[in-house]
Every structure is written in structure tokens, then in C-alpha cells.
């Protein structure tokens, strides 16, 4: 029996209200949508919400899609725009130091290494392809259809389909090469086929179908807000020109005017494309602060032997870095509004990088900084159970790593002092945390406690044996003023 094609199923849902037809579409394509969303936002819970939003949008637009639409391409593009809507509304710091430090000690196959290199760039590059090229790549390598099936879906002969696929791969290869990722088209094709679409959580499809069929009537407020933002982007991309990844969007308060800024340049300096100490080491010393090059699926910044670097970060994060991370956001008081948007910065000096970055911030944005001790509410971090499962002393030779996501209370560190955990807790609890554990060794810790303060405190106690006790004491704050 021939499989009913996507547009016939969509028409059956749009005109006859067939819930079974829509559920079949969800089942066919949820892995594609979920994988694309997860690649762009990096957090499973947010990827699931984006997946839900995309299928609600599909349900709402079911009757308006043209008969010849390649649904895989439409879903992929809608996922990209919905992810951009999410990123525009919620920027979270994910890493202080990069996983690359840990990865460098592992042996990896060529294919896995290739995927790690191209994965952060894939969706940007796909967005730069023309619609037909993008559809061909999605059908052939994301959905693993044969050339004959691609030709049939795109209403062309096999030879033409093969030429289009090869041309599209060559375009991707050139884009990756300009970003410093030199791969053959064969390796690119293999890496995309093997890694671009992974199975979605087994419980996701039924819940997505149920909410989408109701066209979002039972969706959460955050999902509806996400849908609204995505539909605005979709409307914009269908007017004068398609929005490409690398375009920042500002919504003017109280209006629906969209300002376009910061189109990403392919010839940008290498340090603005990737957080990489090796790149910093090759550059002459400099200190620069520039508007962020593009909307990244996650921001990154940190310090290393070659200085300090940040990509796509907020001003308050840059202030943290410039002050040696001594002052977390909970210990920074701004008496003047901090500029919005995100920035790329570099200060690659063998010494005095933080001081030079601090001076550049003050000069460029007209700030002055002072330090003031204020008695305030705090949390005291203390030991309750020294034998907790996630409180493990590190081996001295282990590479140092911190990987945190305050948005969902996820924290992982390897070979780090207790101050790293205290600083993470400050970021989530928005309150100074004072280390009174007396622990002077370095530890390996890994937990996810959520953003709810009480749940996080309980998780910290259960996993690390450390308790957070409310207290009050004098704390030194960094005060940022406007220069006269």
C-alpha cells in the first residue's frame, strides 16, 4: 500500500478535521523538528517547547500551505524561526569554559569530530541556501530519502535532483570552509546523515499532537508567546527578503516595528566565530568590544592562558569577566541602565587582560566603577553530609572545567574549587552565597536542580551534602555608575 503523502494528510486534517492524519504528520516529522530545535537552543526542555510551538503553527496554517509545499523544508524553516524568537527573548549564559577542554583528551572518530565542528554552524549555513537547495538537502540527508524520492518530491528527474544535491553540498562546504571548518562534501553528507536527526522523546509526539490539534488552546503562556514571536518572524521573512541567521531583531516597545541590524559577515575575524584559546594565542594583543556578530544558540565566555574572550554575551556578563568573576550578577549594582543587546569581546594579553577590558568598558560606555560594602541577606554554604554522592575530589591531573546553565539549575564542574559552585548558586538564587564549607580541595560535581529556589536547595543538599542557610553579613559590591 502506498504511503499517503504529507500534503494529502495535511489537507485531510485542514478540510475534514482528521486528528489521525495530523498525528501521523507529527509522528513522521517530530524527530526532524526536535533535533533542529535542540541543536539551536541547546536545552532539552526548551527544544520540546519549540517543537510544540512549531506543530501548533502547522495546525493553524494547515489550510493555507500550497499543495506543492515540501513539508520537511517548511517545518525546518519554521523551527529555525521559532528558535530565533526564543533566543531573542531569552539569553542565558551556558558556559564559563568550553567543553573543548574535556573533549581534547578523548579519542574521536573523523565523523564525530566533523559533526562537532559543523554542528554549531549547520543551521546558519542551511538558512543561507536557497529554498530548493535547502529542501533537497533536508530530504536527502536529514530525512535520508533516496535520490529518486527526492526527485519525485521536488517534481524533477533524478539527474537534476542529484545535481541540485551536489551543488547544495558544495555551497555548504564553502560556507564551512570560510568559518575555518575544512571538510569534504562526502564527510559533510555523512556527518549530517548520521547526526542531524535523532529520535525525539517517546512521550513528546502524543502531547504535541493533542495540543497542536487544539491549535494551542491548552498551550502554556510561554508557548503562546513563543508562537506569537515566531509568526512575526515568519511574516517578516515572507515579505521583502528572507531573514537569515545572523540578523538581530529589535521590537520597538509598544509597536510591531522590526529593526534589522548586525547582519553576520562571513569574512569576520576568526576570534568572533568561535571561543578558542588557540585562535587567541595567534592574534596580536588587543582589547575590543563589538556588537555581537550574530544570534548564537548559546553564549560563551571565559578566561584562559591567553586572556579573556566572550561571544554573544550581555553587558553584565562582561562586567563579571572584567572583574575576574569576583562579582557575580548578585554582587553588581548598576545605578545607571546597562546597555541592552549582546557583545563580542577579546582582551588577549599575557597579563592585565581583565584590567584592560575593564578600562575599555568604562571608556566605551561611559561608566565608572567603585566598590562598596553593604550589609545584606546572604546564603551560607555549609557541609551537612560529607559523603554525598556528587561531592567527589578530583584527580590532580584532571582538566579544569565548568559548564553551567542557571536557566534550569544545571551545574557541572570538574577539578574546580568550591567557589565555582557558590558562584553558580548566586547566579540562580540572585543572592550572595558565602562559602563556609571549609573545603579547600577541588571537586567534580554534576546535578540539575531546576530554577525554583527551594527545589534547587534540596537538590544541592541531596546531591552534594551541602546546605544553604539564610544569614546576613557585610558583602562587597561592585557599583557601576555613569561617568560625569
Give me 33's grid cell: 523538528
The CA distance from 183 to 198, in Å, is 22
Which residue, among 168, 213, 209, 207, has the nearest Cα to 189 in the 3D structure?
Answer: 168
pLDDT tier for residue 89 given thresholds of 50, 70 and 90? low
Which residue, among 138, 145, 149, 142, has the nearest Cα to 193 in the 3D structure?
Answer: 142
How many C-beta neighbours within 10 Å does residue 11 have?
A: 17
Least confident window among 26-40, 275-289, 352-366, 466-480? 275-289
The CA distance from 432 to 445, in Å, is 20
Average pLDDT over residues 459-483: 91
Least confident window among 107-116, 303-312, 366-375? 107-116
> For residue 49, what pLDDT is reported?
86
Tell me the pLDDT tens digit for each residue of 44-69: 778 888 999 999 999 888 888 888 88
Is the pLDDT assigned to residue 159 strictly greater than 60? yes
The CA distance from 261 to 248, in Å, is 5
Give me 427's grid cell: 547566579
Is the distance from CB of 344 to CB of 312 less than 8 angstroms? Answer: yes
The CA distance from 14 to 75, in Å, is 17
Residues facing 345 on adjacent strands: 289, 310
Average pLDDT over residues 196-201: 82
Query: Taking the mean position of all CA atoms in its chain, how far away is CA 449?
Result: 19
Is the pLDDT assigned to residue 241 strictly greater than 50? no
Is the pLDDT assigned to residue 101 strictly greater than 70? no
The CA distance from 208 to 206, in Å, is 6
Least confident window among 28-42, 60-74, 287-301, 421-435? 287-301
Tell me the pLDDT tens digit for each residue of 107-121: 344 445 678 778 878
> For residue 106, what pLDDT is reported?
36
pTM of the entire predicted model: 0.45
> For residue 311, what pLDDT is reported?
86
Average pLDDT over residues 358-364: 91
Tell me the pLDDT tens digit for each residue of 4-36: 788 999 988 988 888 899 999 999 999 999 998
Cα distance from N-terminal residue to C-terminal residue, the chain: 78
The CA distance from 280 to 310, in Å, is 11
Burial class, 473, CB count within 10 angstroms (exposed 0-12 / middle 13-18 / buried 19+): exposed
Distances (CA, A) of 230 to 10, 40, 141, 341, 475: 21, 14, 26, 19, 43
> For residue 333, what pLDDT is reported?
87
Compute the mean pLDDT over every residue in the chain, rounded to the nearest whole number: 79
Residues facing 187 on adjacent strands: none
How many C-beta neighbours within 10 Å does residue 345 have?
A: 24
The CA distance from 403 to 95, in Å, is 5
> For residue 335, what pLDDT is reported?
86
Output 154-163 pairs: Cβ under 8 A, ≥24 positions apart. Answer: 154/70, 155/68, 161/136
Least confident window among 142-151, 238-247, 340-349, 438-447? 238-247
Is the distance from CB of 294 to CB of 262 less than 8 angstroms? Answer: yes
Is the pLDDT assigned to residue 191 strictly greater than 50? yes
Amino acid at each position: 500500500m502506498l504511503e499517503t503523502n504529507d500534503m494529502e494528510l495535511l489537507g485531510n486534517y485542514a478540510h475534514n478535521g482528521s486528528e489521525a492524519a495530523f498525528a501521523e504528520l507529527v509522528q513522521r516529522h517530530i524527530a526532524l523538528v526536535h533535533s533542529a530545535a535542540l541543536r539551536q537552543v541547546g536545552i532539552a526542555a526548551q527544544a520540546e517547547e519549540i517543537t510544540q510551538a512549531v506543530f501548533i503553527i502547522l495546525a493553524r496554517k494547515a489550510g493555507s500551505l500550497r499543495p506543492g509545499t515540501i513539508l520537511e523544508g517548511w517545518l525546518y524553516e519554521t523551527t529555525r524561526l521559532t528558535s530565533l524568537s526564543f533566543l531573542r527573548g531569552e539569553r542565558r549564559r551556558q558556559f564559563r569554559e568550553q567543553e573543548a577542554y574535556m573533549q581534547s583528551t578523548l579519542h574521536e572518530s573523523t565523523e564525530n569530530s566533523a559533526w562537532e565542528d559543523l554542528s554549531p554552524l549547520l543551521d546558519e549555513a542551511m538558512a543561507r541556501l536557497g529554498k530548493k537547495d535547502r529542501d533537497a538537502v533536508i530530504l536527502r540527508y536529514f530525512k535520508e530519502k533516496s535520490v529518486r524520492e527526492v526527485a519525485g518530491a521536488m517534481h524533477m528527474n533524478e539527474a537534476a535532483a542529484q545535481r541540485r544535491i551536489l551543488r547544495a553540498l558544495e555551497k555548504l562546504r564553502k560556507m564551512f570552509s570560510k568559518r575555518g571548518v575544512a571538510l569534504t562534501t562526502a564527510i559533510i553528507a555523512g556527518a549530517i546523515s548520521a547526526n542531524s536527526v535523532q529520535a525525539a522523546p517517546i512521550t513528546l509526539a502524543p502531547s504535541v499532537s493533542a495540543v497542536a490539534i487544539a491549535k494551542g488552546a491548552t498551550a502554556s503562556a510561554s508557548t503562546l508567546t513563543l508562537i506569537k514571536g515566531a509568526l512575526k518572524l515568519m511574516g517578516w521573512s515572507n515579505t521583502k527578503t528572507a531573514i537569515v541567521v545572523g540578523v538581530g531583531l529589535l521590537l520597538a516597545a509598544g509597536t510591531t516595528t522590526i529593526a534589522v541590524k548586525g547582519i553576520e559577515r562571513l569574512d569576520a575575524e576568526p576570534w568572533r566565530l568561535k571561543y578558542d584559546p588557540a585562535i587567541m594565542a595567534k592574534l596580536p594583543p588587543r582589547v575590543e568590544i563589538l556588537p555581537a556578530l550574530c544570534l548564537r544558540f548559546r553564549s560563551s565566555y571565559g578566561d584562559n592562558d591567553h586572556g579573556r574572550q566572550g561571544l554573544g554575551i550581555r553587558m553584565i556578563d562582561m562586567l563579571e569577566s572584567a572583574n575576574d568573576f569576583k562579582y557575580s550578577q548578585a554582587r553588581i549594582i548598576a545605578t545607571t541602565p546597562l546597555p541592552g543587546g549582546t557583545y563580542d569581546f577579546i582582551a588577549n594579553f599575557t597579563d592585565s587582560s581583565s584590567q584592560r577590558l575593564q578600562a575599555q568598558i568604562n571608556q566605551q560606555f561611559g561608566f565608572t566603577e567603585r566598590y562598596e560594602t553593604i550589609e545584606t541577606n546572604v546564603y551560607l554554604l555549609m557541609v551537612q553530609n560529607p559523603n554525598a554522592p556528587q561531592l567527589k575530589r578530583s584527580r590532580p591531573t584532571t582538566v579544569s572545567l565548568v559548564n553551567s546553565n542557571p536557566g534550569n539549575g544545571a551545574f557541572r564542574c570538574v577539578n574546580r574549587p568550591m567557589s565555582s559552585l557558590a558562584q553558580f548558586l548566586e547566579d540562580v538564587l540572585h543572592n550572595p552565597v558565602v562559602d563556609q564549607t571549609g573545603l579547600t580541595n577541588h571537586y567534580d560535581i554534576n546535578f540539575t536542580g531546576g530554577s525554583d529556589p527551594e527545589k534547587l536547595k534540596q537538590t544541592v543538599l541531596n546531591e552534594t551534602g551541602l546546605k544553604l542557610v539564610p544569614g546576613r553579613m557585610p558583602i562587597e559590591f561592585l557599583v557601576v555608575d555613569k561617568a560625569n
